[in-house]
Amino acid sequence: MHETAPSTSGIRRSSRTTLAGVGVALGIYLAALLAGAPQHGRDLLVAAQASHGEHAAHGAGQETDQETSHAADHGDHATPREADQVASHDDHGDEATLHAAVPPPPAWAVTPFVLLLGAIAVLPLIPALAHWWEYNSSKLLVAGSLGLITLSYYLLLHNAAIEQHFPAHDVVAPASSGVSWALAGTVLANALLAEYVPFITLLFALYAITGGVRIEGDMQATPKTNTALLALGAAMASFIGTTGAAMLLVRPLLETNHERKRVVHTLVFFIFLVCNCGGCLLPIGDPPLFLGYLQGVPFLWTFSLWKEWLAVNITLLVIYWVWDSFIAYPAERHADREIDRVTARSLRVTGLWLNLPLMAGVILAVALLDPSKPLPGLDWHPWIFLREAVLLALVGCSLWFGAIEIRVKNGFSYFAILEVAALFVGIFICMQPALALLNEHGASLGIRSPVAFFWTTGALSSVLDNAPTYLVFFKTAQSLPGGGDLVAGVDAGRLTGISLGAVFLGAMTYIGNGPNFMVKAIAEGAGVRMPSFFGYMLYSCGVLLPVFAVVAFFFL
């Protein structure tokens, strides 16, 4: 990751530029409101939902009559497989005909997606290309080029209808001859307007607002203190995001431990807990869960994962405390521990009075301003992109009213969020063929049980980014017949496996989740020699895999 320490003038300039950009975006949204576009998009979405509900209810009634007749004719109860089919039909009966009319693209159409994910995993490890890859412009070049290849396929080669997801569900037919601008535009809208814009706006809001809070101080770096900091980060991760919690606490952790020589394991456990495993209780906690929320998973459903969250995080904290107490801390030189004790000072938090309410505003906006759901107690659906406009307004408040000196002391820059934005604009476009294929053929992959979804999703989340991996297997599970407990069309047990696999096993490598590399870069900038890619995996395989195996055995 190529990031130089920003100067005071540079931070001031970037903050003014960002504030101006937020103002322009909000001005455009206000103009769209005056023209009625967000309201019209909301109305299309609500009308499509109502139509779908009526059709599904009608289909379910017909299926019930047919099933009753079938049982009478055979004098027998329906088999479990038949029961699964009936339950699945209640939610997806009207979609069977739709999918039959929307054949998926050929398998080779996923090549740009595979190449992009491979580039993310491999290019940082090739010495001749690693430095070039550090620049966000390089990432955008690769991601954008592969995204254009995918769009070109739909523009020139795809000759079948595709499903539209924004603003409402529909089917778009290809051009009768020549270039299919409608197909390419639909793919672009599905990728960017339905998924990328909400995704990156949430990450940007959490990243920018937490950048206005500073925690400074130098506590005595005892095992108890470090364990407490890790526990605090794991608890915060679900509520301000893994990126927000990591950026807020990594510098105080480094300042606290700068007198110690053995601190690598502390940073590795910080990645385990704060950057990953702490973030599974709310959709804003980790990017894959927010993608699930955009697909219809209720905002508070992830809170049902509290037992797994508690088991994993407490186990990791205990392992860390034992490691630091009996191996690492006793090995420190007595002189270093004495200097650490003498120079210790209490922590001081600044910027919280403004940004804590703004963080609460982010949570409320995500929970309440979903255009597919009415506001609680009201028969009113929020306008399209109202949630994103509110999030940008909260960022504007943080930049306008917050003290720039806090961001200067934090060395705050937008490099990390721009890196995520550059990569994911390509990922969301390139994965459209893969999602279509999985939606059609997901049931034939042989993945059925929650445990299988946990390990399969987790294995790919370890070597790829966990957000698109989550979405791929979410669509796979959605194509399977489910039981009685369905969440957004997915069996609740399978959704648990997918969610936990994406969040927890994103900690297995540096590339599993965005904050992992960010913490590595900040630690190395502070003089900590972090493990190599495979050196880090020695830690994760030795510590995390046994913990995850136990959790999968008892909870899935």
* pLDDT tens, per residue, the chain with 556 residues: 444 556 778 888 999 999 999 999 999 999 999 999 999 999 999 998 877 666 555 555 554 455 444 444 444 444 333 344 333 344 444 444 445 567 889 999 999 999 998 888 788 788 899 889 989 999 999 999 999 999 999 999 999 999 898 988 889 999 988 899 999 999 999 999 988 998 899 889 988 998 899 888 778 889 999 999 999 999 999 988 898 899 889 888 988 898 888 999 999 999 999 999 999 999 989 989 988 988 889 989 999 999 999 999 999 999 999 999 999 999 888 888 888 788 878 778 899 899 999 999 998 998 899 898 898 888 899 999 999 999 999 999 999 999 999 988 887 888 878 888 898 899 889 989 988 887 777 777 788 899 999 999 999 888 767 887 898 899 889 888 877 789 988 999 999 999 999 999 999 988 788 788 778 877 887 788 888 878 899 999 999 999 999 999 999 8
CA of 188: how far to CAs of 44, 195, 428, 430, in Å? 19, 10, 9, 10
Instruction: List the domain range (segments joined by +) for residue 110.
Output: 105-201+413-427
pLDDT at residue 123 in the model: 87
pLDDT at residue 87 in the model: 39
Phi, psi torsion values for 215, nearest 5 degrees: -115, 115
Chain centroid offset of residue 521 CA: 20
Tokens at residue 343, please?
């120079």
Q: Taking Cα atoms as reference points, which of 246, 215, 249, 213 lies closest to residue 348?
A: 215
Is residue 305 within 8 A of residue 280, CB to CB? The reply is yes
In a domain, 157, yes or no: yes
In a domain, 4, yes or no: no
pLDDT at residue 72 in the model: 46
Cα dihedral: 363, 365, 367, 370 (round 10)? -150
Tokens at residue 354, please?
């403004």
In a domain, 144, yes or no: yes
Q: For residue 345, with 0-12 CB atoms within 10 Å meaning exposed, 13-18 middle and 19 or more buried, which class applies?
A: exposed
Tokens at residue 400, please?
């306008």
Is residue 313 within 8 A of residue 277, CB to CB? The reply is yes
Distance CA 227, CA 274 (A): 12
In a domain, 162, yes or no: yes
- How many domains does the structure of the chain reveal? 1
In a domain, 538, yes or no: no
In a domain, 319, yes or no: no
